[in-house]
């Protein structure tokens, strides 16, 4: 047991996924209650193990690392997944009701892949964990309500996802040719050989695709529009957070030597392109889901800027950004899922008069949008402000100006959504609705965390 104790949180989740799958074979009157109990217990056990019993250090011949930071990130990943799966268990769709166990099985396996990505310190482990994270998403993205559109988007996602894996393997081979080792910590960042620049480019291609960074964002809008809506809270947060956490650890030693400036310049181009073009693409959107898809691109760029920052405090700021981004996004999609007539052709105009239909959903949706925009007194403000601050100290004035400009642009398109929420209803919008109790509970959790971090951004350091 001592030899595998460091993997107990991941093993617990794997056992949970198979228990849910096995439960689908048992004939019960109502499996959903059993499913929710299994899901909550398994996730809470995994979180407790991460917080209290998870040994720290290097394991499996130094291919796997656990430390306080990796455990904190994994707690956030499990928490975000739990809220997402509870939303799926409470779905109004018959498809989700009938195949909830199968959805949970795939998403929890993807979560386990993301947790291993965070702790991977060797290229073979990294490649395998990337695939465990990605393959369930390829499958689920093809299960949307519009089968033709879903299969088309899933095929595109699978093809380019497989191609990005090829680039990842090329990158591992080239890094090995330079350092003679498959371990990340052995990479010779100070070398002037052009091969290390090429291998970094190949790695960044994979990271850019998985996180929907510009210019490898082309899949994200189609997937948001065609994938099952209930998995969007997971899809928009968990894979992105896991991979950006990996980027943080991968480039941790980049500044310990006489760094090859070409590598810094390449990453900077990726950050600048994602923040600027992602903001521009979001402004042009009127379809709500396409807007939300593109609005994640600037956030990913800002997270990468924080992940490669050499200051010791960058890890604390990264955790703060991860926390607000997960709970603001999950809360946002739970609010949208509570609407009675929501679909993938939903436009911003269709939110007109939402406040008159449900003031609770309207106010909570506004809180999450303002947080993502970076408004003061909300968690998103401290996330963006802190990254801008450390970017100025490490990289000069241009990057923080760009981050602040992106925040200003995001205010425009997020407040455009809020404006419609509080407008008078159109004549044809006469439906009334009530929000499910479980959804209310999940939304309140997300609101509390978002507001608490906005008032006291040091709360995460006190908890962990």
Per-residue pLDDT of the chain (464 residues; tens, 9 = 90+): 556 777 888 888 888 888 877 776 775 666 667 777 888 888 888 888 888 877 788 888 888 888 888 888 999 999 988 888 887 766 666 666 666 777 788 888 899 999 999 988 888 888 999 999 988 888 887 776 666 777 777 788 888 888 888 898 988 888 888 888 888 888 877 777 788 888 888 999 888 888 888 888 777 777 777 777 778 888 888 899 999 999 998 888 777 665 667 888 888 888 888 888 888 888 877 888 888 888 888 888 888 888 888 788 888 888 888 998 999 888 888 888 877 766 666 777 777 777 777 788 888 888 998 888 888 888 888 888 888 888 888 777 888 888 888 888 888 888 888 888 887 665 445 456 666 777 888 888 888 988 888 887 776 665 55
- Residues 340, 431 contacting (CB under 8 angstroms): yes
Of 459, 139, 128, the closest CA to residue 323 belongs to 459
What pLDDT is stored for residue 427 in this prediction? 44
Kindly calculate the radius of gyration of the chain based on its CA atoms and give it in whole angstroms: 21
What gap in Å lies between CA 194 and CA 161, rounded to an integer?
Answer: 26
Residues 259, 264, 266: CA angle, nearest 5 degrees? 135
Helix 194-211 crosses helix 147-179 at what angle (to 10 degrees)? Answer: 160
Looking up tokens 């990264």 gives 318
Looking up tokens 């498959």 gives 182
What gap in Å lies between CA 175 and CA 198, rounded to an integer?
Answer: 9
Of 116, 114, 90, 117, the closest CA to residue 103 belongs to 90
pTM, entire model: 0.89
Domain residue limits, the chain = 5-463
């Amino acid at each position: 047991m001592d030899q595998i104790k460091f993997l107990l949180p991941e093993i617990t989740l794997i056992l949970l996924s198979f228990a849910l799958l096995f439960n689908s074979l048992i004939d019960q009157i109502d499996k959903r209650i059993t499913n929710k109990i299994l899901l909550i217990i398994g996730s809470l056990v995994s979180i407790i193990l991460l917080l209290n019993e998870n040994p720290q250090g290097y394991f499996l011949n130094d291919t796997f690392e656990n430390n306080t930071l990796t455990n904190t990130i994994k707690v956030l990943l499990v928490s975000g997944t739990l809220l997402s799966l509870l939303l799926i268990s409470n779905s109004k769709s018959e498809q989700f009701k009938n195949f909830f166990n199968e959805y949970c099985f795939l998403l929890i396996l993807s979560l386990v892949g993301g947790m291993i990505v965070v702790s991977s310190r060797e290229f073979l482990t990294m490649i395998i964990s990337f695939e465990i994270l990605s393959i369930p998403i390829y499958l689920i993205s093809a299960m949307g309500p519009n089968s033709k559109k879903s299969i088309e988007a899933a095929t595109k996602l699978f093809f380019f996802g497989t191609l990005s894996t090829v680039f990842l393997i090329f990158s591992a081979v080239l890094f090995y040719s330079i350092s003679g080792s498959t371990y990340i910590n052995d990479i010779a960042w100070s070398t002037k050989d052009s091969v290390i620049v090429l291998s970094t480019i190949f790695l960044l291609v994979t990271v850019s695709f998985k996180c929907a960074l510009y210019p490898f964002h082309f899949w994200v809008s189609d997937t948001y529009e065609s994938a099952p809506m209930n998995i969007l809270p997971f899809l928009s947060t968990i894979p992105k957070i896991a991979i950006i956490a990996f980027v943080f650890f991968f480039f941790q030693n980049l500044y310990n030597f006489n760094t090859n400036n070409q590598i810094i310049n390449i990453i900077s181009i990726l950050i600048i392109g994602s923040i600027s073009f992602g903001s521009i693409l979001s402004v042009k959107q009127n379809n709500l889901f396409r807007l939300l898809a593109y609005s994640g691109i600037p956030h990913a760029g800002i997270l990468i800027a924080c992940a490669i920052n050499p200051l010791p405090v960058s890890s604390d700021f990264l955790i703060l950004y991860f926390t607000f981004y997960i709970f603001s996004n999950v809360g946002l999609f739970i609010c949208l899922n509570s609407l009675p007539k929501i679909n993938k052709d939903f436009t911003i105009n269709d939110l007109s008069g939402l406040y008159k239909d449900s003031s609770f959903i309207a106010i909570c949706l506004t809180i999450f949008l303002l947080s993502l925009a970076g408004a003061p007194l909300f968690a998103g403000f401290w996330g963006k402000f802190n990254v801008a601050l450390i970017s100025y100290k490490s990289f000069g004035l241009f990057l923080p100006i760009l981050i602040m400009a992106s925040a200003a642009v995001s205010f425009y398109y997020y407040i455009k959504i809020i404006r419609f929420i509080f407008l008078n209803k159109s004549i044809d919008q006469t439906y009334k609705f009530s929000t499910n109790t479980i959804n209310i509970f999940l939304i309140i959790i997300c609101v509390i965390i978002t507001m608490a971090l906005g008032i006291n951004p040091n709360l995460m350091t006190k908890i962990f």
